[in-house]
Amino acid sequence: MKKIGFIDYYINEWHADNYPSMIAESAYAGNFEVALAWEETSVEGRKPIDLWCAEMGIARAESIEQVIEECDCLVVLSPDNPERHEDLSMLPLASGKPVYVDKPFADSFAAARRMVERARKFKTPLMSSSALRFDSTVTNALTQIGDNTVNFFSARGPGEFAIYGIHQIEPMVTLMGVGAKRVMQCGNERTKLMVTDYGDGRRGVVNLIPNCPFQFNVSYGDGGIVAVNDMQDFFARFIDSMLGFFETGESPIPIEQTLEVAALIESGSQALDRMDEWVDVAG
């Protein structure tokens, strides 16, 4: 059984709390276990790592180095603090062992590019994604669209743009590919709406609405339509994809798409301070 090590900014957060049970229930359940966990800091109002580890039945690591040495696969978490990802992944990305970096991959395109280059330098397999990419509705849309061009994409979902915008951006990049040229934020105080322009007539829209379920629509080819109002199975399918990556060392995601997502998050965040103005995509 291969050992997975968790590296986190603070360990008592939703992903760290729930990934172990998802892994235990996955298609790869007999192949992997979460064996070690380490956190950088203890946050007021969260369980200290000793208590968390005792309740989860996971051993506490004393350092990132221990996690790397004793584990076969590494998960850099910190899903709500992507600004910590580059530092937390510095040693893992030099390990040569498969590394999954939680969403959002990085807080800037420059940081994302440095992380990718470090992984390449040390021949470290690397994967990062929103779980929404793996929902069966996205997979089915890819099959339905086939070789046709996606003309327009629109997605809706909840949350703060910097942290949760990725859940709409990732399916957009999955279905439309890379090459976005500019973005514009044109929502309001409560609802964020980002238009992405590809420079060739194609556009995508990402809409963050409080309490809105995850949904998307696609227009492709000569009148083809995909309309999705319910996305439910993304976490189980994501966990299977992450563990499959740990098994093979081959990421199912083109790294160019991961970099594009990081660029769109950075540019979209900058555009929030320049409402109704186009902002060039980072990079």
Residue-wise pLDDT for 113-129, tens only, equals 999 999 999 999 999 99
- pLDDT confidence band for 1 (50 / 70 / 90): very high
Is 90 exceeded by the pLDDT of residue 96?
yes
| Nearest-angstrom CA–CA distance, 86 and 171 | 24
Q: Is 145 helix (H, G, I), strand (E, B) or coil?
A: helix
pLDDT tens digits for range 233-262: 999 999 999 999 999 999 999 999 999 999
Q: Burial, 185: exposed, middle or buried (Cβ in 10 Å; 0-12, 13-18, 19+)? A: buried
Q: What is the pLDDT of residues 137-156, one digit of tens each?
A: 999 999 999 999 999 999 99
Average pLDDT over residues 163-171: 96
**What's this model's pTM, rounded to 2 decimal places?**
0.96
141 token code pair:
């849309």
What's residue 215's pLDDT?
Answer: 97
Distance CA(240)–CA(245), nearest Å, equals 9
pLDDT at residue 19, rounded to an integer:
98
**pLDDT of 24 over the 90 cut:** yes
What is the model's pLDDT at position 283? 81
Q: What integer is the mean pLDDT of 87-93?
A: 98
- Chain length of the chain: 283
Q: Using the structure block, give the residue that is written with the tokens 């729930």.
A: 18
Structural domains for the chain:
2-128 (3.40.50.720), 131-232+265-280 (3.30.360.10)
CA distances (Å), 7 to each of 52, 69, 123, 219, 275, in order?
Answer: 14, 13, 20, 40, 37
Q: What is the mean pLDDT of residues 170-195?
A: 97
